[in-house]
């Protein structure tokens, strides 16, 4: 009887909020949502995205609503040159405004994810900074470092979930990049290295700030930062840096795109709102996070996506078959 009343109540609510032309068969009952998107996801033939033309990156439409961003300097082990630092900002600012995109996979072309900063290309900026005296040189370096920090902060600010898919080495700036991502997968051959101490500096564009929050182990973070030792895939999984390890790059990418497909089948209002609130709560008290959530959802709960999702459940449809409006 209670289940029947629940079904009728939801049905009445749906009939009030859906357009009059919408027909709903109330004989269907609620059921748990399926997670079969992963089973059905496959890596479709990628196509270049017209308004993403870069020297250091390749951006393709991997599947519907999913973009694949590759660090694309395989001949240089995907070292981060001058172009990379500005192009990442341009790329993810565009993605943030792309209403068709609901999830992003970022990977490295060739044999490794990235070898970190391209010291040859960046040498003049780092070793011969502009300025007439200490104050002006310091001011220049401050601006340079802040600009480089934005290269990875822009990933965190992007409301679309970003999945890092790591194979081979993830060195130096690679750690800054992946710790700004929302989810991290890796292949069995992956290793992770906070390399900066070996070249005479403290990591300054995000690793020291984000890695402790990602793995929750200050002792291990200190060890990695002070020694520059390699962390292999199994250790990265055990400490929480990555959530899954796969036999090789191809299997890992298939899994990353399947995950992105699962995410992109959900309401973009729900997914992007979840990312924004998770990040806010990470950096604020529980009370502040709850207050922010209250303000957020007093507007977002009015979305039609809730009714569409509930209707799909009642009609035993998969969410991937539901058309959610662009966001």
Is 206 considered catalytic here? no
CATH number at residue 168: 3.90.226.10
Which 8-state DSSP code applies to residue 117?
B
- Annotated active-site residue in 176, 182, 189, 305: 176
Do 304 and 173 fall within a single domain?
no
Give the bridge partners for 187, in sequence order: 246
Cα distances (angstroms) measured from residue 150 to each of 59, 93, 145, 146: 19, 11, 9, 6
- Annotated active-site residue in 71, 106, 117, 155: 117
Dist CA 302 CA 313 (whole Å): 19
Do 260 and 271 fall within a single domain?
no
User: Domain containing 153: what range?
Assistant: 41-264
User: What is the pLDDT, as a whole number, of residue 266?
Assistant: 94
Do 297 and 205 fall within a single domain?
no
Do 33 and 150 fall within a single domain?
no
Do 119 and 165 fall within a single domain?
yes
Is 196 considered catalytic here? yes
- Annotated active-site residue in 150, 156, 204, 304: 204
Do 73 and 194 fall within a single domain?
yes
The predicted-structure confidence for 59-94, as pLDDT tens digits, reads as follows 999 999 999 999 999 999 999 999 999 999 999 999
Do 104 and 196 fall within a single domain?
yes
Do 110 and 249 fall within a single domain?
yes
Q: Of 239, 264, 289, which residue is a domain's last?
A: 264
Do 117 and 212 fall within a single domain?
yes
Is 176 considered catalytic here? yes
Do 29 and 154 fall within a single domain?
no
The predicted-structure confidence for 98-152, as pLDDT tens digits, reads as follows 999 999 999 999 999 999 999 888 877 777 788 789 999 999 999 999 999 999 9
What burial class does residue 278 get, using C-beta atoms within 10 Å of its C-beta: 0-12 exposed, 13-18 middle, 19+ buried?
Answer: exposed
Q: Is residue 303 included in any domain, yes or no? A: yes
Of 173, 216, 183, the closest CA to residue 80 belongs to: 173
- What stretches in the chain show pLDDT beneath 50? 1-10, 13-45
The predicted model scores a pTM of: 0.84
């Amino acid at each position: 009887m209670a289940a029947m009343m629940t079904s009728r109540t939801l049905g009445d609510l749906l009939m009030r909020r859906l357009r009059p032309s919408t027909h709903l068969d109330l004989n269907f009952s609620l059921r748990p949502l399926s997670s079969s998107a992963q089973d059905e996801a496959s890596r479709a033939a990628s196509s270049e995205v017209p308004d993403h033309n870069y020297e250091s990156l390749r951006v393709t439409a991997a599947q519907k609503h999913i973009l694949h961003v590759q660090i694309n300097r395989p001949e240089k082990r995907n070292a981060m040159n001058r172009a990379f630092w500005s192009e990442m900002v341009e790329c993810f600012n565009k993605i943030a405004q792309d209403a068709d995109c609901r999830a992003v996979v970022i990977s490295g072309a060739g044999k490794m994810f990235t070898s970190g900063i391209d010291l040859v290309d960046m040498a003049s900026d780092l070793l011969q900074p502009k300025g007439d005296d200490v104050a002006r040189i310091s001011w220049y370096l401050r601006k340079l470092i802040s600009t480089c920090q934005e290269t990875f902060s822009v990933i965190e600010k992007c409301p679309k979930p970003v999945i890092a898919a790591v194979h081979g080495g993830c060195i130096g700036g690679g750690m800054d990049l992946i710790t700004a991502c929302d989810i991290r997968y890796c292949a069995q051959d992956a290793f992770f290295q906070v390399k900066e101490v070996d070249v005479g500096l403290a990591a300054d564009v995000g690793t020291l700030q984000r890695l402790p929050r990602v793995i929750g182990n200050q002792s291990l973070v200190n060890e990695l930062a002070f020694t520059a030792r390699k962390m292999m895939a199994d250790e990265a999984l055990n400490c929480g840096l990555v959530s899954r390890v796969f036999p090789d790059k191809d299997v890992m990418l298939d899994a990353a795109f399947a995950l992105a497909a699962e995410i992109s089948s959900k309401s973009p209002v729900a997914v992007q709102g979840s990312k924004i609130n998770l990040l806010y709560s990470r950096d604020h008290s529980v009370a502040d996070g709850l207050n922010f959530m209250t303000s957020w959802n007093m507007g977002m709960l009015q979305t039609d996506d809730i009714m569409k999702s509930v209707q799909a459940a009642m009609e035993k449809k998969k969410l991937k078959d539901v058309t959610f409006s662009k966001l």
